[in-house]
Amino acid sequence: MATAVSAPASSHTPAVDVPALTGLLDGRYADVRQLVRDNLAEHASILTDAEEMSVPEFRERVLEVVRLMADTGQTGFGFPKEHGGGGDIGASVAAFETLALGDLSVVVKVGVQFGLFGGAILHLGTERHHRAYIDDLVHARLLGCFAMTETGHGSNVQALGTTATYDAEAGEFVLDTPDDRARKDYIGNAAAHASHAVVFAQLVVEGESRGVHALVVRIRDADGNPSPGVRIEDCGRKIGLNGVDNGRLWFDGVRVPRTNLLDRYAVVTEDGRYSSDIENPNRRFFTMLGTLVQGRVCVGGAGINAAKVALAIAIEYAGQRRQFGTPGSGEEEVLLDYGMHQRRLLPLLAQNYALHFAQERVAADLHDVFSDRPEQGLDEHARRALESRAAGTKALGTWHASRTIQECREACGGAGYLSVNRFDALRADTDVFTTFEGDNTILLQLVAKGLLTDYQDSFEDLDQIGLVRLVASTAVETVLERTNARSILERLRDAVPSSDDAPDAGLLDGDYHLELFTWREEHLLSSVARRLKRGIDSGQDPAEVFSRCQDHVISAARAHVERIVLEAFLDKVATVEAGPNRDAVGLLCDLYALSRIESDRGWFLEHGRLSNARAKAVTAMVNELCRRLRPIAQDLVDAYAIPREMLRAEILEFSGS
């Protein structure tokens, strides 16, 4: 980790070199991001189409834009070059999250086609599947869907009800939907456009269930009619994303060739023998799902980028719109000059910067773990750590999007309620991100699971009850040793000013912020481990023990993710050349850290890490940082380089002044 860098001690507000700050935000994939921005600007009319077209018309319009973007190559960056792609997973993530500056139906349609459907074939299939499908799907000649979720099971994928039974005599799998709970539900691309689906089903071979596996299934013929035995139903209108044709699928004796099993991790021979290099079925299942982590990374990035649009509109509007003012002055006050308006928007701006750099880190980890580097192999511990980091960043990023878009809407008053100002689409279309690619609360449980087990070999075998038993038996000592409470207390004591110092002493010290975040995380983690152990030692039912501690588990996970977000921000600040931009991002980093401390000041007070006077000093400093950032707020959102066409908001043309 780089050395923490504090904001400048003076009250001076730095100037901002906007192009250089854009370069910092764009990172190594600046050219990719600019390609996507240019494409968005070229197809900006889709924002109006979303408001004026019927649902069937808009679905076709979204498909048209997706195909046009596929023609530019931006949707294929993550696929192998030999199959028509760009061979760069990091570029693929950068393109996808930048696409979220525009219409989000296009984003999700791209995610389904290239991330989920294409990603499943790429990561779960073998060379023959790659040859058969990837070139066509990369260029959107072959449209597909990802049929995992069922009406009765979403997060609990291992309990899916759809079956794929092998008929050795025919050399085919037979797919069946046993009841309506097992129907595939909310499947993007299924209602109108997909000809094929990657279907997740319980694989039954020689009368024995082998767990959930994926198969490529043709669901429509060349004329667009459902294939024999396939029933398709439209999910209808949704809260948002009505350019995406979500549908339901049923299978009644649908036969597919044996070779349609995506068999990178498990093989069924022609005569009906099942084999896998991963003997443990739980580990095999989680390994298969782990290869699909890119979708989770992309959804988190999309939420963070959608929030940028809301912030850009709200902050520019607040810098123009006048309301009230000093009596007798003859001129009303600009909204952003009001302290409460700064309070509403600028901490969210700081959090957006923090999450942007945290997202950059997780995308880089994804690229490193899954790049084609045969000489290194796939590091299992790194893969599990990536899954945890991706889960946590996605959860915080998409919750941030929902909160930020709503706050920005309210900050624009009644005008923000008009469709012409984009907030309605941003709010409605991102709402599902908090449950798409994993319910956020469940994802934080995944984070906690990794922290409590240190991603050891048994990590993937544990359900909630197994986790409780492991922590109660052996893992608690490991957790306590790892958190090393005495050491962190000593470090925190060094970072905290003495009682003789002023309450605001050291408040802009990045080391202090990080130590405080780390102490909270490790205290929560060690205390939840003790609670789990006490529950088991007292003879309580493991499921009941976990249920009673669940809020504590989630708090520990959230504290962990907030710490790694701060760490990523501090590391990024340290890379910026000394000057105004370093000062500016340093101020943002301080505001992020202190606003998060302020939001949890009750906990810090309860646990003796903040005095009453220091808690008040934190609040005062958040106000001061907002005042210092106010003169450069417009520059900070300009650095997002959002095409003007995507800031299609009437309020930016008429401020009411």
Task: Give percent of the chain with pLDDT exceeding 90.
Answer: 72
The answer to whether residue 376 scores a pLDDT higher than 50 is no
pLDDT of residue 241: 96
> What is the rounded distance in angstroms from the CA atom of residue 594 to the CA atom of residue 615?
10
Q: Which one is predicted more confidently, 385 or 103?
A: 103
Residue with tokens 């597919």: 256
> What is the rounded distance in angstroms from the CA atom of residue 583 to the CA atom of residue 3?
15
> What is the rounded distance in angstroms from the CA atom of residue 532 to the CA atom of residue 464?
11
pLDDT of residue 461: 52
**Mind listing the pLDDT tens digit for each residue in 157-166?**
889 999 999 9
**Average pLDDT of the chain?**
89
Beta bridge partners of 204: 165, 209
Calculate mean pLDDT across residues 509-535.
91
- For residue 567, give the nearest of 640, 515, 505, 507 by alpha carbon: 515
Contacts for 412 with CB less than 8 Å, ≥ 6 apart: 313, 314, 317, 421, 423, 651
pLDDT of residue 3: 47
The answer to whether residue 153 scores a pLDDT higher than 70 is yes
The answer to whether residue 413 scores a pLDDT higher than 50 is yes
The answer to whether residue 530 scores a pLDDT higher than 80 is yes
C-alpha dihedral over 157, 158, 160, 165, to 10 degrees?
130
**Mind listing the pLDDT tens digit for each residue in 5-48?**
444 444 567 789 999 999 999 999 999 999 999 999 999 999 99
pLDDT of residue 11: 56
Contacts for 415 with CB less than 8 Å, ≥ 6 apart: 317, 421, 650, 651
The answer to whether residue 469 scores a pLDDT higher than 90 is no
The answer to whether residue 377 scores a pLDDT higher than 90 is no
pLDDT of residue 627: 96
Contacts for 199 with CB less than 8 Å, ≥ 6 apart: 147, 162, 164, 175, 184, 214, 215, 216, 217, 249, 251
Write down all domains in the chain, each with its CATH number in brackets. 146-281 (2.40.110.10), 443-643 (1.20.140.10)
DSSP conformation letters of 210-260: EEEEEEEEE-B-TTSPBPTTEEEEE----SS-TTS--EEEEEEEEEEEGGG
The answer to whether residue 141 scores a pLDDT higher than 90 is yes
If you average pLDDT over each of 280-284, 379-383, 399-403, 436-440, which comes out highest? 399-403
pLDDT of residue 560: 97
* Cut 0.75: pTM above it: yes
C-alpha dihedral over 219, 128, 375, 361, to 10 degrees?
-20
φ, ψ of residue 521 to 5 degrees: the values are -60, -50
pLDDT of residue 9: 40
Calculate mean pLDDT across residues 641-648.
94
> What is the rounded distance in angstroms from the CA atom of residue 427 to the CA atom of residue 310?
9
**Mind listing the pLDDT tens digit for each residue in 14-24?**
789 999 999 99
> What is the rounded distance in angstroms from the CA atom of residue 76 to the CA atom of residue 140?
10
pLDDT of residue 476: 54
**Mind listing the pLDDT tens digit for each residue in 587-613?**
999 999 999 999 999 999 999 999 999
The answer to whether residue 483 scores a pLDDT higher than 80 is no
From residue 588, give the alpha-carbon distance in Å to each of 353, 598, 628. Answer: 8, 15, 10
Task: Give percent of the chain with pLDDT exceeding 70.
Answer: 88
pLDDT of residue 482: 59
Calculate mean pLDDT across residues 373-399.
80
What length is written for the chain?
657
The answer to whether residue 500 scores a pLDDT higher than 60 is no
What are 532-536's contacts with CB under 8 Å, separation 24+? 532/452, 532/468, 532/471, 532/472, 532/476, 533/471, 533/472, 533/476, 535/468, 535/472, 536/468, 536/469, 536/472, 536/473
